[in-house]
């Protein structure tokens, strides 16, 4: 019946001043949100949600659909698009699950990895089977940003020997913890460790704290270590104001962000090694 109604309208279009636009209205697409599902320093998993509104009084079956994510105008991921038949005069919700490994980015897109966010373009080209009129395609694109997780950086801005006795030496450190990310995070159970030849000779627990996005926080700590554990060469270097190559200052601990709904990547002592 719907077929014959549309056919009748087409045949009488000249008399009734109807046009194809009166018979078929292109569906509209609305981007909703992109939610991170998993985040690491090398890849991310996410879910993008959008809605499609069918303004016509008849259903629109899907003939085919091309869905892809692009960076810098270059397609990088072909998506499986679960777009169903659009019911008459209704809005349909669509979810696209996808993952992106940063190593898959082209040379032109790799430059974005130095930034804190990656600009992505979702491109959809569905072809609908319109009664009587046949196949009709829609080209739709939407740009959005996803965060690129980067490990915090711990910098030693100043240090000195604050006390020395016959058996021990105390070092004072001014530390800066940099957050290069577009999200804030909270440090949890961070520990400062002084190691020599893979052996821990002193450690200090840092108080938990919050660091705002793209900012830094300052901390002052003291480490006391035995002279026997330190060694003569390292001791002489410290007394002369020179940091010994044999000493490494490592930081370990966990972090979380209330700005994101997913756990942050695991950070190791190597990624948090203090920089002088």
Q: What is the pLDDT of residues 139-176, one digit of tens each?
A: 999 999 999 999 999 999 999 999 999 999 999 999 99
pLDDT tens over the chain, length 276 residues: 444 445 544 454 454 455 556 789 999 999 999 999 999 999 999 999 999 999 999 999 999 999 999 998 899 999 987 899 999 999 999 999 999 999 988 888 888 888 899 999 999 999 999 999 999 999 999 999 999 999 999 999 999 999 999 999 999 999 999 999 999 999 999 998 898 887 889 998 999 999 999 999 999 999 998 988 888 888 888 989 899 888 888 888 999 999 998 999 988 766 677 777
pLDDT at 35: 96
Nearest to 190 by CA among 231, 152, 141, 246: 152
- Assigned token pair, 63: 């003939």
Nearest to 123 by CA among 74, 53, 169, 158: 74
Please answer whether residues 119 and 103 qualify as being in contact, where contact means their C-beta atoms are separated by less than 8 angstroms: no
State which fold the 25-147 domain adopts: Immunoglobulin-like (2.60.40)
Nearest to 96 by CA among 27, 155, 33, 146: 33
Nearest to 120 by CA among 130, 131, 128, 109: 109
Domain boundaries, the chain: 25-147, 153-256
**How far from each other are the two terminal CA atoms of the chain, in whole angstroms?**
79
* Spatial separation of the C-alpha atoms in residues 261 and 251, rounded to whole Å: 25
H-assigned helices in the chain = 2-11, 13-16, 20-23, 107-110, 227-230, 232-239
Phi, psi of 44 (to 5 degrees): -145, 155
For 153-256, the fitting CATH number among 2.60.40.1820, 1.10.10.410, 2.40.280.10, 3.40.190.10 is 2.60.40.1820
User: Do 25-147 and 153-256 fold alike per CATH?
Assistant: yes
Q: What is the DSSP letter of 68?
A: E
């Amino acid at each position: 019946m719907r077929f014959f109604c549309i056919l009748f309208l087409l045949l009488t279009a000249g008399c009734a001043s109807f046009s194809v636009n009166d018979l078929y209205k292109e569906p509209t697409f609305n981007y909703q949100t992109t939610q991170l599902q998993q985040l690491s320093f090398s890849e991310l998993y996410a879910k993008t949600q959008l809605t499609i509104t069918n303004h016509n009084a008849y259903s629109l079956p899907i003939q085919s659909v091309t869905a892809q994510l692009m960076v810098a105008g270059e397609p990088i991921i072909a998506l499986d698009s679960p777009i169903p038949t659009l019911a008459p005069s209704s809005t349909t919700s669509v979810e696209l699950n996808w993952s992106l490994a940063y190593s898959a980015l082209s040379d032109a897109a790799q430059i974005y990895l130095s930034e804190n966010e990656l600009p992505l373009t979702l491109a959809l080209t569905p072809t609908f089977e319109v009664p009587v009129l046949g196949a009709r395609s829609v080209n739709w694109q939407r740009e959005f940003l996803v965060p690129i997780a980067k490990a915090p950086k711990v910098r030693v801005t100043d240090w000195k020997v604050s006390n020395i006795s016959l058996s021990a030496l105390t070092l004072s450190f001014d530390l800066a913890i940099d957050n290069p990310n577009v999200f804030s995070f909270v440090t949890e159970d961070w520990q400062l460790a002084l190691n020599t030849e893979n052996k821990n000779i002193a450690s200090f627990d840092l108080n938990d704290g919050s660091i705002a996005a793209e900012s830094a926080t300052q901390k002052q700590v003291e480490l006391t270590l035995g002279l026997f554990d330190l060694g003569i060469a390292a001791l002489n270097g410290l007394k002369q104001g020179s940091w010994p190559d044999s000493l490494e200052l490592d930081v370990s601990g966990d972090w979380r962000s209330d700005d994101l709904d997913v756990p942050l990547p695991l950070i190791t002592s190597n990624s948090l090694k203090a920089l002088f």
